[in-house]
Structure 1
Amino acid sequence: MADVDFYFSTLSPYTYLAGNRLEEMAARHGAKVTYKPLDIMGLFSRTGGTAPKDRHPNRQSYRTEDLIRQAARAEMPLNVKPMFWPTNAAPSSYALIAAQSTGGGNLGALLQAISRACWAEEKDIAQDDVIKDCLSGAGFDPGLADSGLLAGAETYAANLEEAVERGVFGAPFYVTSDGAHFWGQDRLDDLAWHLARTGA
């Protein structure tokens, strides 16, 4: 059985556009998902990536076109220029880390609520009230937004180091326990194929 380590940024539009597909396929194949939020700008600087604002205009134009197309295919609302983007991803990432550690709710739903707040609801996911609403809606104690900040910061930093060591360079990125790598929500079908092939 191959489990999945899921590296992502709460600021990534492609993490948002993945929706709940990872969770559905993991349930179908009996695979465990471990959520590993990280600093995407730190990852870019460590692995040769470039922040969207610093990319060549051709790349920026294609990114916008692709986001619109992918959102339409997924039938998901998307604002390609959200009011509160970029923002500080750390608070929402810490909340996810605390929720995963504590348990009791739906982590996939929490990530989807946070990313939807940014990319479809014009909310600032660095704000406590937004994070607490997402926690509550996913079945977690909203107080998790205020607790475990030191542990969250340590895990957030460790996730980045681990990601670099394991060959991760973008988000969303999926690494299976048997060492297979999949980059982007448009590779989820490949991940599903791999899980089926390895008997997960």
Structure 2
Amino acid sequence: MTNTIDVFWSFRSPYSYLVTPGLLRLRNDFEVDLQFRPVLPIAVRTKESLFTADQRRVKYIIIDAFRRAELLGMPFGRPSPDPIVQDMQTFEVAEEQPYIYRLTGLGIEAARRGKGVEFAYHISHLIWSGEPDWNKGDKLALATAAAGLDLAELDTAIIATNPMPDIEANHAALEAAGGWGVPTMVFNGEPFFGQDRIDTLRWRLEKVGVPRR
């Protein structure tokens, strides 16, 4: 029987980007089913719980994400444009958000089609690898195609079927699992928060005897 791991993940999170190769390796190595469950970033989901006028936390995340990417041998650069329209001095979030709702909805539709992790891998590499203007031209379409999906079909689907109920259900499930940030992987009710906890998750799978492929 395949074991299920819920993967709570955000397109704005650098650590979510950094965990994607590890997720693919995990699925290749163990008989597990990764349930991709994209959530909106804290900046629009529960911004009062994270963003204040104190710059130290953001500065640390930037430093840490760059060095973590270097350690992992992954390309990394601050996204241009940022998936969230936000003043990073005041942390004020704009009312109009042209990117993150679409991206998260596309992630929901990719998950419905059984390719959520693949979509997350290719789209996050496009956004976070340092290439500017990820949103222009055919870049999103090509990254989506690399995941085995068609961007136009996904866009049509999220217009026809509102993804927000699924997104909100993912928010509730993340909270119910005791989580708040991403990436969070949940196996048998046990949360593993952070890109650097995927090795701990692998240890847990081995400890409980999840078969290898």
TM-score, normalised to structure 2, is 0.80
Q: Is the 8 A contact 2:11 2:83 kept in 1?
A: no
Higher helix share: 1
Instruction: Note if contact 2:34-2:117 (Cα within 8 Å) is conserved in structure 1.
Output: no
- AA at the equivalent of 2:58: Q
Is the counterpart of residue 154 in structure 1 residue 151 in structure 2? no
1:32-181 map, 5 Å: 32-41=33-42, 42-45=44-47, 49-51=49-51, 54=52, 56-79=54-77, 81-87=78-84, 88-103=99-114, 106-120=115-129, 121-124=131-134, 129-142=138-151, 143-149=153-159, 150-176=161-187, 178-181=188-191
- Shift in alpha-carbon separation, 1:91–1:198, aligned structure 2, 3 A: same
Q: Distance in 1 between matches of 2:141 and 2:132?
A: 16
1:121-163 CA-to-partner distances (Å, cap 9, x unmatched) read 22345x7954433221211122212213334222112211221
Task: Give 1:12's aligned residue.
Answer: 13
SS where residue 171 of structure 1 aligns? coil
Structure 2: 5+ residue runs without aligned partners? 85-98
In the superposition, the TM-score normalised over structure 1's length comes to 0.85
Unpaired runs of 5+ in structure 1? none
Partner Cα distance (2:60, 2:80) in 1:
20
Length, aligned pairs only: 191
- Whether the 8 Å contact between 1:11 and 1:85 is mirrored in structure 2 is yes
* RMSD, aligned α-carbons: 2.2
Identity score, percent: 25
Does 1 or 2 have the higher relative contact order (CA < 8 Å, sep 6+)?
Answer: 1
